[in-house]
Amino acid sequence: MKRIITAFSIIMAAVSCNSINPFLTEWDTPYGIPDFSQIKEKHYVPAVEVGIRQQQSEIDAIIAESDAPTFENVVEAYERSGAILDRVTSVLFNVSESDATESLQKIVEQVLPMMSEHSDNIFMNPYFFAKVETLYKDMENLGLNREQEMTLTKLYNAFVKNGVALGEAEQARMREINMELSSLSNTFGNRLLAENNAFAEEFGLSISEYAGAMAATEDRDLREKMFKAYSSRGNNGNENDTKELILKMMALRIEKAKLLGYENPAQMILADKMAGTPEAVDSFLASIMEPAVEKAKAEIVDMQAVMDEDIKAGLLPEGSKIEAWDWAYYAERVRKAKYALDEEQTKPYFKMENVRQGVFDLTTKLFGLQYEKLEDIPVYHPDVEGFKVTDADGSLIGVILTDYFPRSTKRGGAWMTNFVNQEITADGKDIRPVIVNVGNFAKPTADKPSLLTLDQVETLFHEYGHALHGLLSQCTYKSVSGTSVARDFVELPSQIMENWAFQKEVLAEYARHYETGEVIPDELIGKIMAAETFNQGFMTTELAAASILDLKWHMLDTVPTDVEAFEADACLNMGLIDEIIPRYRSTYFAHIFSGGYSAGYYSYLWAEVLDKDAFELFKEKGILDKETAMSFRRNVLEKGGSEEPMTLYRNFRGADPDPAALLRARGL
């Protein structure tokens, strides 16, 4: 009762001072969608302040509880805490990535140290930890179900990773490190956004359009100019240079790891992941890198042959060789020659709305999901559209929002996040999630809709796999629901969805010409399928190279003095050829310096072993086999982090994954 009264009084005091702050009460909107129509920038900081005070009072009540610690009065009480803070931060941090005005960036800069301090106040509290530790050490005698065991373990590990066992001086230093890392990471993201916008202004195309432009641009000098501008983002010696940020972050990450008793950040980060150790990841990536590079070398031979024809025709000077800025252009030329496949032929069949409907229809066939377009709902930007998702029996699954077009306030790439997390409340109410998929596809023009490349089609399917992981969650506790899983498992649901994108049965349903309505012809489908493993040497090499570069950064125990020299040395040692650079160079590697993939970018390849192995079962049973699909739903998509990842996978597959599945799928 004490906890409820204290939290209630805090909220009431805040409401009396700021009665119109929409974050202080539950959303009175359809399906719990955030009330974007009422949210103003002035609401964020006051709501964060109230949310922090509310959650701290709830933590204080847990500590003050005189009864012996139980799962209910410690772990479950913590899981139910922080409702206001969850509401405001889920909106603030999501919108700051997809519609980041300058004023909103300043708000984030103000909020981050507040959040860092609050987190440290929780996970460095020895009295709270004592209760959690008591339960953790006696877990086998508590009669907990598996989800409760995983939730307790995750909470215990959060304390340990935050240095609860450190001395007073070391804890004080850990607080400083956490706060500074939070600020530096945010600054990195802001500088990269500015660099992306500068690139767009110089060349008249967004970062998301770069790959297509490189494949289509005949002017070699212009390709070289675009390549060098793209690959030097964050490395121009201007106010948006990120090199010093990287060195500061790595120094802090190394110091943090050593404070916690680890040799390097990778060892610390991977301790609770599927891979387990940096050495295991290093070995895994090396096993992929070698065959990928060999395949890439063979691809260069094919491209050089086409370039030689241009030399003979007098289009290029004698002795011209394939360079990094030539790869996309000549790869596209080879693809046209080998497979008669041209993106300009395929794009008219991939209108964005049709592709989105295609993934909706696929999930109806596989999982029984139904979709309804939502009109007049609150959204954070006019480009956002919303859909109600229900199960086969009509019960609510959740809401999916889509935000697919680029703008100067949106960071590059594509991603999925939650505005509302799935959980079951103390009174048994199942809170259904509100999910958003964000992308950067071509914006419609006056005479043409948004038409997607083959890669963008895969991206839409990929991100919807993440959305399914969030939407279909059937967990009790939010800390293990949806995508709250080990980083090297989270890409399984997303990557397996890519496998359906170009299957003939699926294409026949959604790939229709935007002008005529004609279904994509079998001849074109055949070309797409025939070219399935085309250019995989390049694609696998650049992905593996970025993964190795990430790992090498985080296996450091001392900080290098020069970012460029360190990267060049890492690329040389991994066997990277001159014609290919890592998918992300250090100075614009947002995944690891402004995201959650530090020492974890390998996850895409690690999870691909699982997704390719899993899809082989679908191919064996039938790619639209309902029984296999529902097994994947029940054993993987609904479970979140409520069980160990490999246990979930084995429950679906009936066996361990075959490591060679990835190499087979990529033609390596």
pLDDT digits (tens, 9 = 90+) for 493-551: 999 999 999 999 999 999 999 999 999 999 999 999 888 889 999 999 999 999 999 99
Distances (CA, A) of 160 to 123, 142, 171: 8, 21, 12
Q: What is the pTM of this model?
A: 0.91
Judged by phi (left if over 0) then psi (alpha if -120 to 50, else beta), residue 393 lies in alpha
Q: State the DSSP code for 442.
A: P
Last residue of a domain, one of 566, 586, 601: 601
Helix axes 168-203, 243-259, angle to 10 degrees: 150
With a cut of 70, say whether residue 5 has pLDDT above it. Answer: no
Residue 483, φ and ψ in degrees, nearest 5: -85, 10
pLDDT for the residue 17: 46
Average confidence score pLDDT of the chain: 93
Judged by phi (left if over 0) then psi (alpha if -120 to 50, else beta), residue 376 lies in left
pLDDT digits (tens, 9 = 90+) for 93-134: 999 999 988 999 999 999 999 999 999 999 999 999 999 999
pLDDT band at residue 487 under the 50/70/90 scheme? confident
pLDDT digits (tens, 9 = 90+) for 558-584: 999 999 999 999 999 999 999 999 999
Asked whether residue 69 falls in the same domain as residue 81, the answer is yes
Asked whether residue 373 falls in the same domain as residue 483, the answer is yes
How many CA atoms, within 13 angstroms, populate the side-chain half-sphere of residue 346? 24
**Per residue in 264-293, is it b (16+ CB within 10 Å) or e — as a string?**
bbbbbbbeebbbeebeebbebbebbbebbb
Asked whether residue 378 falls in the same domain as residue 332, the answer is no
Asked whether residue 439 falls in the same domain as residue 301, the answer is no
Q: State the DSSP code for 53.
A: H
With a cut of 60, say whether residue 7 has pLDDT above it. Answer: no
With a cut of 60, say whether residue 275 has pLDDT above it. Answer: yes
In a domain, 177, yes or no: no
Active-site residue set: 463
Number of domains in the chain: 3
pLDDT digits (tens, 9 = 90+) for 70-93: 999 999 999 999 999 999 999 999
pLDDT band at residue 16 under the 50/70/90 scheme? very low
pLDDT for the residue 19: 61
Average pLDDT (654-664) is 90
Asked whether residue 556 falls in the same domain as residue 421, the answer is no
Alpha-helical (H) ranges within 35-145 are 44-64, 77-79, 83-98, 102-123, 126-137
Asked whether residue 320 falls in the same domain as residue 366, the answer is no
Asked whether residue 225 falls in the same domain as residue 103, the answer is no
pLDDT for the residue 343: 86
pLDDT digits (tens, 9 = 90+) for 32-49: 999 999 999 999 999 999
Asked whether residue 618 falls in the same domain as residue 569, the answer is no
pLDDT for the residue 3: 40
Nearest to 538 by CA among 343, 330, 252: 330
349 with 520: CB under 8 angstroms?
yes
In a domain, 304, yes or no: yes
Last residue of a domain, one of 165, 200, 235: 165
pLDDT band at residue 665 under the 50/70/90 scheme? confident
pLDDT for the residue 89: 96
In a domain, 316, yes or no: yes
pLDDT digits (tens, 9 = 90+) for 341-386: 888 899 999 999 999 999 999 999 999 999 999 999 999 999 999 9
CATH of the domain at 206: 1.10.1370.10
